[in-house]
Chain A
Amino acid sequence: MTAYLIRRVITSIVVLLGVSIVIFFLLHLIYPSPAQDVLGAKATNAAVNAWNKQNGFDRPWILQYLSYIGNALHGNLGYSYKLNQSVAALFGERWARSLYLSGMSLLLSVLLAIPLGIYQAVRRNSLSDNTMTTAAFILYAMPVFFLALILIQAFALSLHIFSYEASQSTSVWAVMADWHAMTLPIATLTLISVAGYSRYMRSSAMDALAQDYIKAARAKGLPERLVLFRHLVRNACLPMVTLIGLSIPVLLAGNLITEQVFNYQGLGLLFYNSLGNVDYDVLIAYTLIGATLVIVGNLVADIALTVADPRIRLA
């Protein structure tokens, strides 16, 4: 068990190093230096060269990479020349808001998907199962922004129940309290994830229902309620752990688009705005953070699964 964990952590660190090299090299290839953006389009070549030399952009990319990683490990993620702020400070202002949006949606979608999936598996091929499957298929095929748009049209513009814009407050506590503004963004992300999760949960619960221990539990006369709660739920939920770990890239992408649609001042919107400005350091830092989240998510999911399921404890 310990040996497996150590091996797994080391692999993750190697992959993380590879990721940082690839991202840095890719961005370096696309934007060799932010000089022109910082100095303006009219800057002379001499000025650009001088700026590059001064800021270390004339060195080979591998040296730039090493100094970037060195800085990043000390918490210095670079400087946004467009917003005149350090990237770390920019992220510090916003990460809590993104975490709230994504975390809340993830929590809600898991809490919804588990009972939905089990219900569908138990009542498989009934009218309610088929209706929910159809709904899941439609939601799963829906672009995030299109769903957001429909929700805005229905609940904000027609019915005036919720706001079409997310909370603009700078305090995350105020954001959390503002359900009027936060319901639609959270609902958008939740609905998109619930579609995939509930379908997965349904097939996982169906597999579990066909197992002998369920037959044994029924055969010994256990009420159906207890069969489901004691024997089915925990076993059927196991594969969900892996799924949630794997769905982090999707969550990040959904987060970016949702923040853009609802003008929510989180990390995704910062990234989106930085695209237009070519704000080099923000782009690289957020891509790196996103990749780190993916790797850590997979690692945590693997470890959680090994802890939860004795059958897959590898020596």
Chain B
Amino acid sequence: MSNIDSLVLSPLGGARLPEGGDVGPIQSGWRLAVREFASNRLAVLGSAILVFFLVFCFAGPLFYHGQTINTNLLATNLPPGAGHLLGTTSEGFDELALLMRGGQASLEVAFLAAAFGIVLGSIWGAVAGLVGGIVDSVMMRIVDVFLSIPILFVVLIIAVRYGPSVLSLGLIIGGYYWLVPARLVRGEVLTLRTRDFVSAARIAGVRPWRLIGRHLIPNAVGVMIVNVTFNVADAILLVAALGYLGFGLQYPTEDWGDMLSNGIGYMQDGYWWLVYPVGACIVLVVMACNLIGDALRDSFDVRLRRR
């Protein structure tokens, strides 16, 4: 296999091949996947960034108190300083505290959308793949239809009519993010259903839903986790775009996109602290998710390869 070369050559390759004559320790696929993941420096970096932002956004407000609800006209557009570590906005809100609150909204929407999408998508894909035939064709054409409609347009149209909340925005975006998982899980199920353990379970009289829940989904979980990480990254960008265009979450809930959009108005005045910190937050979190996703994909590949 050509992959052998890349394994030997790769400096990141934690999965060292046994030397001639040696036999590597027998390990479960999961442990291999975890080891491969942990030996990937970029993946560890991505996880660290993501954990940092989760702590920063959700635990940060417990330690850092700043005004984000009531306007304070005596403290508008202050540069970063002692009282306000990242300065204040034109409403006198504390930028650092706002970053934490905005991050909560952005991350909540993104995780909600990805979670909703993966649940719906894996059920849809598993059913389509397991039943097959005309049901499969119809279900997959439905996926094709929704996948052809550019999501930004639809989300914008819905968001304009119904001012979105964290919950509704998460569900709307999640209502789109089930399509790719459905395709992926269907593909996995199509290969899994010919395997002996699935036949054995069927012969033993296992009901279809239990077959999906106990035998098919757990075996497709690698593909699903990888997809979730990429979806979280995409969703954060989408929420930011909505916020920037002015159709995102509304005050008093604010997300990073809104903040960036507000800050841009003061670009000419040189109020950099309203623009670059929040921009950096978006870039870092999205990048972290992408790094994790890439590494997970590689490590699950290793697991499959070594089976």
Q: Spot the interface stretch: A64-72, A112-120, A140-148, A307-315.
A: A140-148
Chain B residues with Cβ below 8 Å from A271 are: 153
Which B residues are CB-close (under 8 A) to A46? none
Against A, the Cβ 8 Å flags (1 = close, 0 = not) of B134-152 are 0000000110111111111
User: In the bound complex, do residue A30 and residue B241 qualify as a contact, i.e. CB atoms below 8 Å apart?
Assistant: no
Q: Tell me whether B156 and A275 are in contact (CB under 8 A).
A: yes
Q: Are A286's CB and B286's CB within 8 A?
A: no
Q: Does B2 contact A (CB under 8 A)?
A: yes
- Whether the Cβ atoms of A19 and B148 lie closer than 8 Å is yes
- Tell me the number of A-to-B contacts counted with CB atoms below 8 Å: 127
Whole-angstrom CA separation of A252 from B147 in the bound complex: 14
Interface residue count on the B side (C-beta < 8 Å): 45
Min Cβ gap B131→A in Å is 20
Flag the segment in A20-28, A52-60, A178-186 that touches B: A20-28
| A283 vs B257: C-alpha distance when bound (angstroms) | 23
Given A30-B161, A145-B244: A140 and B290 interface contact (C-beta under 8 Å): yes
User: Does residue A18 face the partner (Cβ distance < 8 Å to B)?
Assistant: yes
Contact flag A27-B275 (CB < 8 Å), given A137-B290, A144-B241, A272-B245: no
Are the CB atoms of B283 and A142 closer together than 8 Å?
Answer: yes
CB-contacts of A270-315 with B (<8 A): 271-272, 275-276, 278, 283, 286-287, 290-291, 294-295, 298
* Cβ-neighbour of A290 out of B144, B153, B244, B260 (below 8 A): B153
- Asked if A210 and B160 make an inter-chain contact with CB atoms under 8 angstroms apart, the answer reads no
0 or 1 for each of B227-270: is its CB under 8 Å from A? (1 = yes): 00000010001001100110100000000010010001001100
- Residues of chain B within 8 A of A275, CB atoms compared: 156-157, 160, 247
Q: Mark A99-143, 1 if CB is under 8 A from B, else 0.
A: 000000000000000000000000001000000000001101111
Using Cβ atoms and an 8 Å threshold, which residues of chain A touch B291? 137
Q: Is A26 a contact partner of B154 (Cβ separation < 8 A)?
A: yes
List which B275-290 residues lie within 8 A (CB) of chain A: 275, 279, 282-284, 286-287, 290
Provide the bound-state CA to CA distance between A253 and B244, in Å: 13
The smallest beta-carbon distance between B263 and chain A, in angstroms, is 9
Max chain A C-beta neighbours (<10 A), residue from B141, B237, B275, B284: B237
Q: Give the residue of A141, A142, A294 whose beta carbon is less than 8 angstroms from that of B150.
A: A294
Select one of A149, A206, A252, A291 contacting B6, CB under 8 A: A206
A222 contacts chain B at the CB level, 8 A cutoff: no
- Is A157 in contact with chain B by the CB < 8 A criterion? yes
Q: Is A249 interfacial (CB 8 A cutoff)?
A: yes
- In the assembled complex, A39 has its CB within 8 A of some CB on chain B: no
Say yes or no: B141 contacts A14, CB within 8 Å.
yes
The answer to whether A153 and B157 have CB atoms under 8 Å apart is no
Asked whether, in the complex, the Cβ of B245 is within 8 Å of the Cβ of A143, the reply is: no
Any chain B CB within 8 A of the CB of A257? yes
Residue in B closest to A30 when the chains form the complex, CB atoms: B161
Q: How far is the CA of A196 from the CA of B15 in the complex (A)?
A: 27
Asked if B22 CB lies within 8 Å of chain A CBs, one says no
Classify chain A's interface size: 35 or more
Q: Does B24 contact A (CB under 8 A)?
A: no
Query: Of A22, A138, A144, A276, which is within 8 A of B145 by CB?
Result: A22
Interface residues of A in 220-262 (CB under 8 A from B): 249, 252-253, 256-257, 260
Find the A residue at minimum CB distance from B153.
A287
A30 is contacted by which of B150, B153, B158, B260 (Cβ under 8 Å)?
Answer: B158
A216 on the interface (CB 8 Å rule)?
Answer: no
Interface residue? B196 (CB, 8 A): no
Measured between alpha carbons, how far is A7 from B157 in the docked complex, in Å? Answer: 33
Query: Across the interface, do A143 and B146 meet the contact criterion of CB distance under 8 Å?
Result: no
Q: Is the CB of B152 within 8 A of A253?
A: yes
- Residue numbers in A under 8 Å from B160 (CB-CB): 275-276, 278
Task: Determine whether the beta carbon of B282 is less than 8 Å from that of A153.
Answer: no
A43 close to chain B: CB less than 8 A: no
Judge if A31 is at the interface, Cβ distance under 8 Å: yes
CB distance from A176 to the nearest CB of B (A): 26
Inside 8 A of A283's CB, which chain B residues have their CB?
A: 153, 157
Residue in A141, A260, A278, A291 whose beta carbon sits within 8 Å of that of B245 in the complex:
A260
Q: Given A141-B287, A291-B148, A294-B150, is A149 in contact with B237 using a C-beta cutoff of 8 Å? A: no
Question: What is the interface of chain B, defined by CB distance below 8 A to chain A?
Answer: 2-3, 5-6, 10-11, 141-142, 144-154, 156-158, 160-161, 233, 237, 240-241, 244-245, 247, 257, 260, 264, 267-268, 275, 279, 282-284, 286-287, 290-291
Q: Can you give 24 contacting A-B residue pairs, CB < 8 Å?
A: A15-B141, A15-B144, A18-B141, A18-B145, A19-B149, A125-B11, A137-B290, A138-B287, A140-B286, A140-B287, A143-B257, A149-B264, A150-B279, A206-B6, A210-B2, A249-B151, A253-B241, A257-B244, A272-B245, A287-B150, A291-B148, A291-B150, A294-B148, A294-B150
Known contacts A153-B267, A210-B6, A275-B157; can you find 19 more A-B pairs with CB under 8 A? A18-B141, A18-B142, A18-B144, A30-B157, A142-B279, A142-B282, A149-B267, A210-B5, A249-B150, A249-B152, A253-B152, A257-B244, A272-B245, A275-B156, A275-B247, A283-B153, A287-B153, A294-B148, A294-B149
